[in-house]
């Protein structure tokens, strides 16, 4: 048993790690710049939490764990290195946790959270009491992590961290792969691979270390077929693959289909989340569960009881009869899939989009604009920088180019401030509208303020 000290313990992800490490019998402490309800809950569970960072926190510590938000020159982190303490990042702790049982990990450019959440729901329905690690909150488990007593350990694996290549899993799930989290100029940055080739090699390593691989076999992701060769594997896809859908029907806020596994129709599946992309997520989760030996009846139940993770087509309330939905979509493919599902509701789609990170937005703004053509109206906020600085385009230039493209295509589009967009929506929201707040930054707060009829930001 070890003493783990977690810097940034107040974050959703790090707090989940803390709980599981404590459940596994380790001593756990942590610190954060600000205390919160979450850190106070950890203290009630026997995890000591310090406010602020200090080398004094390192007494008796065996391993220091630093979130990606902690800079390398932070004094507590530097002191740990001087003392010769192992300094780990989040993914290394995830690896330690997964080694404690039968492990299933989900990675990919899109659908990680939803697929992992569906997988967790399936294993809960199968009464296996799994341990679960997510990058978002899931109502079914009461947060971003679940400390289970059963043998199964399920984790969302963030491909933005190059260290994910070293995980060793019983079942590795790869949802898809695009050049997201790839440095725009080849320079090393947190959460960016140096090139798409480097990301591909990381995926190859991730797949090569797994006992079994479940991968997306649809033609658009054919690269995954090459990257996963040499391991026992099964593919999934909407209309083809070892696990695919038949007799599929989309509904405004869900879908139903027949699940086909290795040429045999197992039975009907109904989802309470919308869009073809969620059917694909469900097929990925079902394939992984079938490989692990879960009965189809538990897969049916688990997929049906899944109603979405936090910020994944999350209904947050209403304004003047308009439905307000929040979604984490922050790259072009996610944005396209979200808006396609939104259009299927039959409502007037009014999309409030906050681009995320300058590096990504400079590369993807044309694809953002094309995806937003599906909206009846697009309202563009400033880029959420996430600590980055502009490379070649300012926030206003990125937003302006998106708006110009949309207007030239005959779409209603505006770039404006947070306050002005909030005021505009309060004045114009009406029954039949679907107001979507979209992005990985602070935009989620806007939808909640609108639903709560509050003026303060």
Catalytic residues: 112-113, 156
Q: What is the DSSP string of 45-61?
A: TT-EEEES--GGGGTT-
Give the distance from CA 372 to its chain's centroid: 21
What backbone phi and psi angles, to 5 degrees, belong to 312? -120, 95
Give the list of residues 6+ apart from residue 202 with CB closer than 8 angstroms, or none: 159, 162, 164, 165, 193
Number of H helices, E strands in the chain: 14, 21
Task: Identify the residue whose tokens are 């959460």.
Answer: 191
Contact status, residue 290 vs residue 243, Cβ threshold 8 Å = yes
Contact status, residue 207 vs residue 231, Cβ threshold 8 Å = yes
Which residue(s) pair with 155 in the sheet?
A: 105, 133
Collapsed DSSP state (helix, strand, coil) of residue 5: strand
Tokens of 174: 């790869």
Count Cβ atoms below 10 Å from residue 188 Cβ, excluding itself.
9
State the SS3 of 97-126: HHCCCEEEEEECCCCHHHHHHHHHHHHHHC
Tokens of 282: 């469900």
Task: Identify the residue whose tokens are 């996963």.
Answer: 228
Tokens of 133: 């690690």
What backbone phi and psi angles, to 5 degrees, belong to 288? -65, -40
Collapsed DSSP state (helix, strand, coil) of residue 93: helix
CA 124/CA 308 separation, integer angstroms: 15
């Amino acid at each position: 048993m070890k003493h783990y000290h977690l810097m940034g313990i107040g974050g959703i992800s790090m707090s989940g790690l803390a709980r599981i490490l404590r459940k596994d019998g380790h001593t756990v402490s942590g610190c954060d710049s600000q205390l919160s309800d979450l850190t106070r809950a950890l203290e009630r569970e026997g995890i000591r939490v310090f406010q602020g960072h200090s080398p004094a926190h390192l007494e008796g510590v065996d391993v220091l764990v630093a979130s990606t938000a902690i800079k390398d020159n932070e004094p507590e982190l530097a002191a740990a290195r001087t003392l010769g303490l192992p300094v780990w990042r989040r993914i290394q702790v995830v690896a330690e946790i997964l080694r404690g049982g039968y492990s299933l990990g989900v990675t990919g450019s899109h659908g990680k959270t939803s697929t992992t959440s569906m997988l967790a729901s399936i294993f809960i329905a199968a009464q296996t009491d799994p341990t679960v690690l997510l990058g978002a909150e899931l109502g079914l488990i009461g947060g971003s992590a679940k400390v289970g007593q059963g043998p199964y350990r399920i984790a969302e694996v963030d491909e933005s961290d190059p260290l994910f290549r070293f995980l060793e899993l019983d079942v590795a799930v790869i949802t898809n792969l695009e050049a997201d989290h790839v440095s725009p100029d080849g320079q090393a940055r947190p959460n960016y691979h140096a090139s798409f080739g480097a990301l591909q090699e990381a995926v190859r390593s991730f797949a090569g270390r797994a006992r079994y691989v479940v991968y997306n076999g649809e033609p658009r992701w054919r690269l995954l077929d090459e990257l996963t060769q040499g391991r026992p594997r099964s593919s999934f896809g909407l209309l083809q693959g070892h696990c695919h859908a038949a007799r599929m029907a989309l509904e405004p806020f869900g879908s139903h289909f027949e699940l086909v596994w290795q040429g045999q129709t197992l039975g009907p599946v109904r989802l309470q989340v919308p869009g073809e992309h969620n059917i694909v997520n469900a097929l990925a989760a079902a394939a992984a569960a079938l490989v692990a030996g879960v009965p189809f009846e538990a897969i049916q139940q688990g997929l049906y009881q899944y109603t979405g993770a936090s910020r994944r087509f999350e209904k947050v309330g209403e304004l003047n009869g308009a439905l307000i939905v929040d979604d984490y979509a922050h790259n072009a493919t996610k944005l396209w899939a979200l808006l396609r599902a939104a259009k299927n509701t039959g409502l007037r789609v009014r999309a409030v989009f906050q681009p995320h990170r300058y590096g990504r937005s400079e590369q993807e703004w044309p694809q953002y604009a094309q995806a937003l053509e599906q909206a009846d109206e697009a309202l563009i906020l400033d880029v959420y920088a996430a600590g980055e600085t502009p490379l070649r385009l300012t926030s206003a230039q990125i937003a302006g180019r998106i708006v110009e493209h949309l207007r030239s295509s005959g779409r209603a589009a505006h770039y404006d401030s947070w306050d002005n967009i909030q005021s505009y929506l309060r004045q114009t929201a009406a029954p039949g509208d679907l107001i979507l707040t979209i992005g990985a930054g602070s935009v989620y707060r806007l939808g909640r303020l609108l639903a709560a009829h509050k003026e303060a930001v």
